[in-house]
Amino acid sequence: MVQNVANATLSVARPQWDNSRLVSRIVHLGCGAFHRAHQALYTHRLLETTDSDWGYCEVNLMPGNDARLIQALKDQNMLYTVAERGAESTALKVIGSMKEALHPEFDGCDGILNAMARPETAIVSLTVTEKGYCIDAASSQLDLNNSFIQHDLAHPQQPKSAIGYIVEALAMRRERGLPGFTVMSCDNLRENGHAAKAAVLGLAQARDPALAAWIAGHVTFPCTMVDRIVPAVTEESLQQVADQLGVFDPCAIACEPFIQWVIEDNFVNGRPDWDKAGAQFVADVVPFEMMKLRMLNGSHSFLAYLGYLGGYETISDTMTNPAYRKAARALMLNEQAPTLSMPQGTDLVGYADLLIERYTNPSLRHRTWQIAMDGSQKLPQRMLDPVRIHLKNGDDFRHLTLGVAGWMRYVSGVDEQGNAIDVVDPLAARYREIHQQYQEPEARVRALLAIETIFSKDLPANAQFVAAVTHAYLDLLKNGARATVEALA
Ligand code: NAI
Ligand code: CS2
């Protein structure tokens, strides 16, 4: 018998229940690193402490590793390990909230659509990365020119995008006289529920206005603020878990101990009592989302671009340089916090200090390269919304400016030593063209600013912003990232 997490002798206990207790009431699209260490863990905690029967039907839509993960979960009775790594010690947990797992390669589109259209499916949740919504990052509206969306319009019953699956499953429920379900985005988008709604209704409207009207009346799209730093697995991190666990678990995931989930209480078809497992249900999540996207994710992207260029492999390595620590904290408190409208009593200084402490955790090895990915999808909500506020108010925003210039320098694809950078981004080809076509720095900056899905029309037309970014970009070329960050102080 092949030894795995379901049958080997382990150093920690397996769940006290078996799979038959669970009902697949949630279909989750995007069984990646984050979901396994976050929503699946909250749901597991609920199973540990209450008589809940809420379980997950996991779905991955992408090929390659994502398909292999689904097969591996099936092979080990849907059990897997989460390793919470503090600076000093690691706690292991075997998670038992997944009932089943599906992939188009094994189960076909039909298998997945039928699961989403089952009467017991109450929630469809998503962690499909920012680009998985097929929206224009600047406007948060569905991009009808996206190749996945064009495919799904032509072949609605064999969708490829997460949004196409949701729309077709809702069409099936409507035909079958079933209620809708709640669509719950857990991605780092601004007003993620509203973005998911715009994408789903945008596609439904393009297919059939009557379907769009039905969805508008039968589906809710709560916003959520999700937080836990979960780096991508590496061979090394999997081996570390195996050494501690007693068996190799290909589905294991290592993360920080911190975890937070704030959810808008707007569910159309029931929900688990995640508050009993430490989540918070509130009427309005948007202020919390903005706080996290700007203070955490904004400073993360700043550290990712300037840290990578400065020769730092991970966020914790970057934090060993006092100038970067200081710059990250100043970005959070001087340039992001003032753009927020938080409920009274919110301690943003305490929040910033905790973020600095979390970034410093040396056990995580969160690569700057990983966070630097998909900048075209991340800059608008992390840096550019606050820039607009500062431009309007006439305030200083030099850290944000350097963050944007750092992204521009990074997407040139060549580091400060002349080595190639593996730039991963849906717009990577466009960046390459720009860097080939424009040799002169000022012209490159202008060409990058002209990418409307990132900067809209207003920012490239703002002379103050263009001058500030150009200046910071020239500083980076002349002095390098470390010296430029040091000079901020
Ligand atoms: P991952 O790379 O481990 O997983 C990504 C998942 O998204 C995979 O299941 C993949 O199949 C799916 N996916 C990717 N592109 C897709 C597309 N075009 N259509 C449909 N599915 C697609 O990444 P991870 O770490 O799980 O992060 C996923 C997202 O979760 C992030 O982009 C972010 O929005 C959110 N998040 C991540 C955190 C983290 O620390 N890793 C923390 C908070 C939020
Ligand atoms: C990171 C986030 O990869 C990134 O872009 O900024 O995934 C970050 O780790 C999480 O949002 C933390 O909750």
Q: What percent of the chain has pLDDT over 70?
A: 100
Q: pTM of whole model > 0.95?
A: yes
d(CA 2, CA 248): 11
pLDDT in tens, 119-154: 999 999 999 999 999 999 889 999 999 999 999 999
CB 184 within 8 A of CB 222: yes
DSSP codes, 153-188: HH-TTS--SHHHHHHHHHHHHHHHT----EEEE-SS
Q: Average per-residue pLDDT in the chain?
A: 98
Predicted pLDDT of residue 148: 97
CB of 355 sitting under 6 A from ligand 2: no
d(CA 403, CA 392): 19
* Region 291-308 average pLDDT: 98
Which residue's alpha carbon is nearest to atom 10 within ligand 2?
229
**Ligand 1 nearest atom to the CA of residue 226, by list position:** 43
Q: Which of these, 127, 33, 126, lies nearest to 82 by C-alpha position?
A: 33
Does residue 317 carry a pLDDT above 80? yes
Q: Which of these, 36, 161, 32, lies nearest to 98 by C-alpha position?
A: 36
- Calculate the alpha carbon distances from 317 to 29, 355, 362, 367, 482 in Å: 33, 15, 8, 9, 13
Q: Tokens for 303, please give them.
A: 């550290």
State in Å: Cα 292 to ligand 2 middle: 10
Tell me which amino acid residue 31 is: C
pLDDT in tens, 222-272: 999 999 999 999 999 999 999 999 999 999 999 999 999 999 999 999 999
CB of 367 sitting under 6 A from ligand 2: no
State in Å: Cα 300 to ligand 2 middle: 7
Main-chain dihedrals φ then ψ at residue 23, nearest 5 degrees: -115, 135
Could you tell me the domains of the chain?
19-282 (3.40.50.720), 286-486 (1.10.1040.10)
99: enclosing H helix or E strand: strand 98-102
Does residue 489 carry a pLDDT above 80? no
Residue 1 banded pLDDT, cuts 50, 70, 90: confident
State in Å: Cα 441 to ligand 2 middle: 30
State in Å: Cα 129 to ligand 1 middle: 4
* Region 390-415 average pLDDT: 98
d(CA 365, CA 143): 35
CB 249 within 8 A of CB 7: no
Q: Tokens for 300, please give them.
A: 């993360």
Which residue's alpha carbon is nearest to atom 4 within ligand 2?
371
DSSP codes, 366-379: -BHHHHHTTHHHHH
CB of 297 sitting under 6 A from ligand 2: yes
State in Å: Cα 8 to ligand 2 middle: 33
Which residue's alpha carbon is nearest to atom 2 within ligand 2?
297
Looking at residue 246, the DSSP 8-state letter turns out to be: S
* Residues framing ligand 1 (Cβ under 6 A): 30-35, 60-62, 66, 127-132, 161-162, 187-188, 226, 228-230, 232
Tell which phi-psi region holds residue 134, choosing left (phi > 0), alpha (psi between -120 and 50) or beta. Answer: left
Ligand nearest the Cα atom of residue 39: 1
Predicted pLDDT of residue 381: 97
ipTM above 0.95, yes or no: yes
How far does the chain reach from its first CA to its final CA, in angstroms? 61
pLDDT in tens, 368-398: 999 999 999 999 999 999 999 999 999 999 9
Predicted pLDDT of residue 224: 98
Q: How many angstroms from the chain centroid is the CA of residue 331?
A: 21
d(CA 78, CA 395): 52
CB of 227 sitting under 6 A from ligand 2: yes
Which residue's alpha carbon is nearest to atom 6 within ligand 2?
297
Residues 282, 287, 293, 299, CA torsion sign? negative
Task: Return the C-alpha torsion angle 201, 182, 254, 189, nearest 10.
Answer: 30
CB of 300 sitting under 6 A from ligand 2: yes
CB of 192 sitting under 6 A from ligand 2: no
CB 408 within 8 A of CB 447: no
Predicted pLDDT of residue 430: 98
Q: Which of these, 410, 352, 400, lies nearest to 380 by C-alpha position?
A: 400
Predicted pLDDT of residue 222: 98
